[in-house]
Amino acid sequence: DQQVKQNSPSLSVQEGRISILNCDYTNSMFDYFLWYKKYPAEGPTFLISISSIKDKNEDGRFTVFLNKSAKHLSLHIVPSQPGDSAVYFCAASASGGSNYKLTFGKGTLLTVNP
């Protein structure tokens, strides 16, 4: 069973507009969440993270929102740029002895059109 779900395989937006990527999780033990960006033929690159004690974390154009009651997080990119076109992975780790282990979603392909 998938504990981290990214239900949109792809998303297309216009340059300058907002991109919103969504992620749902089922494991209530997850308490640390990360977003990674991946270009073709490269490894995932860390983008932004959030701990469960917060509901928002912002870094430049990127903001992650966490709704614990809904077990939902989202990544907002404003304004979107063509260079943001990549696959975005949501990942989570659980509290406890295995907190080093990341569980990933399947990813969402974002295309930003000029």
Residues 6+ apart with CB under 8 A from 113: 12, 13, 14, 15, 82
Q: How many helices (H) and strands (E) does the chain have?
A: 0, 11
Stretch that binds other proteins, among 55-63, 65-73, 78-86, 93-101 (CB under 8 A): 93-101
- Tell me the per-residue interface mask from 33 to 72 with other proteins, x by CB under 8 A, - otherwise: -x-x----xxxxxx--x-----------------------
Nearer to other proteins, 17 or 101 (CB): 101
Least spacing, CB of residue 114 vs other proteins, in Å:
27
Nearer to other proteins, 85 or 105 (CB): 105
Alpha carbons 21 and 112: distance in angstroms, whole number: 13
